């Protein structure tokens, strides 16, 4: 038996490396690459002939692999939302991870932004290259698509701030069949929701606001599939975020309570800019926010210096939150932005009280949840006399409006608890609100 020579062993080892090394792809979709499990990315890192240290985060690993592939000639393509950076450049954020910053962020130069008249919040698709000599980030060098259209065919629409606001005059119907829709059927009767509404669900702790918000989200998804439904959860528990994603099935943008106040502000600001860009295209956008109180807290905590008002709240922080909420509107040119937000009360926090008082008169629709009703396990624990919509006659049919007034008059004569229980009993006995209005309360 003849033993292999040293040169033959070296050739054999080289052949093995070539066979086991992963082939270089022609093109890589960065969005799909980021969605790969960490274990799969680690396996890829072991297969490629690149020096990648262990124990790094998933985002850092993605960055290292993309840099390697780009140097080897692979084409990189990424789609994301434009966010303004600290300096003149912008950053392409990934919506699937709630715009969370990471080492694999993609920088967009000011020249590219100017040449294509790109706006913060736009959805764009770009070609990406590896970092230059002294840079430490991936950067975009060509715009392929803007809002789903080829960059060469895209015409910038009229800016959001130049659109003409008007009263909400189109109804967002929430009612559906079954006991799962009882809560939203009450809202349809007591405080109807219109396109372009600024609505507040005022709720004490454990008042049932989260369950009600989920019901509203499911109802909108079922009854208005053409609307752009966005859910924004700020300073939320991680398990609540997961539950929303699994039960509602629409885009959920979230920041959890273990993240910084600056992070809460960042995701909120980018979500509202995204909503504006959709309205500019004539789309009806419905944004469900939990909660307005946490948004104001985030803006307040992120402030550095400046005056401090009552309850330790900065007037500048309140103004930022007011601007966010005030963005909701119906526009004559087509499209609308509806914001339905929750606000916390009775928390024994002076800051929360100040925030609620600040926003109390800015909304044009309000649903008040009552602590006493919630403690009696009444759902929805809606305080009927203190709930309603401004100019609701624009949303109801004239005949329907008269019937609704009759029902509200009857309920106003009863104690708060009896009123909601009477309404719920009648809702359970009828399949639709129209049937209830025709037969009346019994």
User: What tens digit of pLDDT does each residue of 266-285 get?
Assistant: 899 999 999 999 999 999 99
Residue 305 has what pLDDT?
Answer: 65
Residue 339 has what pLDDT?
Answer: 95
Fold of 23-150: OB fold (Dihydrolipoamide Acetyltransferase, E2P) (2.40.50)
* Angle (nearest 5°) at CA 386 between 385 and 389: 100
- pLDDT: which is higher, 356 or 10: 356
Angle, in degrees to the nearest 10, between helices 292-302 and 350-359: 110
* Residue whose pair of structure tokens reads 């926003």 in the numeric block: 359
Is the pLDDT at 165 greater than 60? The verdict is yes
Residue 12 has what pLDDT?
Answer: 46
Is the pLDDT at 9 greater than 50? The verdict is no
Ranges of each domain in the chain: 23-150, 165-439
Is the pLDDT at 107 greater than 50? The verdict is yes
* Assigned CATH class of 165-439: alpha beta
- pLDDT: which is higher, 400 or 313: 400
Q: Tell me if 89 sits within 8 A of 107, measured CB to CB.
A: yes
Average pLDDT (419-429) is 89
Q: Average the pLDDT over each of 20-29, 332-341, 380-389, 423-432 and give the range with the smallest value.
A: 20-29
Identify the band that residue 1 occupies on the pLDDT scale cut at 50, 70 and 90.
very low
Identify the band that residue 127 occupies on the pLDDT scale cut at 50, 70 and 90.
very high
Identify the band that residue 11 occupies on the pLDDT scale cut at 50, 70 and 90.
very low
Question: Helix or strand or coil: residue 240?
Answer: helix
- Distance, CA of 124 to chain centre: 18
- pLDDT: which is higher, 134 or 40: 40
Average pLDDT (143-158) is 90
Identify the band that residue 5 occupies on the pLDDT scale cut at 50, 70 and 90.
low
Average pLDDT (147-162) is 90
Alpha helices in 234-359 (DSSP H): 238-248, 261-280, 292-302, 315-326, 350-359
Average pLDDT (378-387) is 88
User: What tens digit of pLDDT does each residue of 214-239 get?
Assistant: 999 999 999 999 999 999 999 888 88
Is the pLDDT at 10 greater than 60? The verdict is no
- pLDDT: which is higher, 2 or 35: 35
User: What tens digit of pLDDT does each residue of 301-357 get?
Assistant: 776 666 676 666 777 778 888 888 889 999 998 889 999 999 888 777 787 778 788
- List, as one string, the DSSP characters of 30-51: HHHHHTS-HHHHHHHHHHSSS-
Q: What is the chain's mean pLDDT, rounded?
A: 85
Is the pLDDT at 15 greater than 50? The verdict is no
Residue 301 has what pLDDT?
Answer: 75
Average pLDDT (135-158) is 89
Identify the band that residue 102 occupies on the pLDDT scale cut at 50, 70 and 90.
confident
Of the CA atoms within 13 Å of residue 365, those in its CB half-sphere come to 32
Residue 20 has what pLDDT?
Answer: 43
Residue 281 has what pLDDT?
Answer: 92
Is the pLDDT at 71 greater than 90? The verdict is no
Residue 42 has what pLDDT?
Answer: 86
């Amino acid at each position: 038996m003849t033993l292999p020579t040293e040169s033959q062993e070296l050739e054999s080892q080289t052949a093995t490396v070539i066979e086991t090394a992963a082939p270089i792809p022609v093109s890589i979709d960065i969005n799909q690459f980021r969605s790969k499990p960490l274990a799969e990315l680690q396996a890829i890192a072991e297969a490629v002939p690149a020096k990648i240290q262990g124990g790094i985060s998933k985002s850092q690993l993605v960055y290292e692999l993309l840099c390697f592939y780009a140097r080897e000639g692979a084409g990189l393509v990424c789609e994301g939302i434009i966010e303004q950076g600290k300096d003149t450049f912008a950053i392409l954020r990934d919506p699937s991870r709630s715009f969370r910053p990471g080492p694999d962020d993609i920088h967009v130069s000011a020249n590219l932004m100017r040449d294509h008249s790109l706006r913060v919040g736009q959805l764009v698709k770009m070609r990406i290259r590896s970092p230059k000599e002294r840079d430490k980030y991936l950067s975009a060098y060509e715009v392929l698509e803007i809002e789903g259209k080829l960059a060469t065919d895209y015409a910038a629409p009229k800016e959001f701030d130049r659109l003409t606001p008007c009263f909400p005059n189109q109804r967002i119907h929430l009612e559906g069949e079954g006991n799962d829709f009882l809560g939203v059927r009450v809202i349809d009767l007591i405080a109807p929701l219109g396109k372009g509404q600024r609505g507040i669900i005022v709720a004490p702790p454990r008042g049932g606001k989260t369950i009600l918000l989920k019901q509203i989200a499911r109802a909108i998804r079922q009854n208005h599939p053409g609307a752009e439904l966005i859910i924004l959860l700020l300073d939320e528990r991680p398990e609540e975020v997961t539950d929303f994603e699994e039960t509602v099935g629409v885009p959920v943008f979230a920041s959890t309570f273990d993240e910084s106040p600056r992070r809460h502000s960042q995701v909120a600001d980018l979500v509202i800019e995204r909503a504006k860009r959709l309205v500019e295209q004539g789309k009806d956008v419905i944004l469900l926010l939990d909660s307005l109180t946490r948004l104001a807290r985030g803006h307040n905590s992120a402030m550095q210096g400046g005056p401090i008002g009552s309850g330790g709240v900065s007037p500048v922080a309140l103004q930022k939150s007011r601007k966010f909420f005030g963005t909701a509107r119906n526009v004559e040119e087509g499209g609308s932005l509806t914001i339905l937000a929750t606000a916390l009360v009775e928390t024994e926090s002076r800051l929360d009280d100040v925030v609620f008082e600040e926003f109390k008169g800015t909304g044009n629709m309000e649903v008040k949840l009552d602590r006493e009703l919630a403690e009696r396990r009444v759902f929805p624990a809606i305080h009927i006399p203190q709930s309603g919509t401004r100019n609701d006659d624009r949303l109801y049919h004239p005949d329907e409006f008269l019937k609704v007034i009759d029902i509200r008059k009857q309920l106003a004569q009863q104690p708060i608890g009896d009123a909601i229980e009477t309404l719920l009993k009648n809702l359970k006995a009828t399949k639709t609100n129209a049937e209830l209005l025709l037969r009346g309360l019994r």
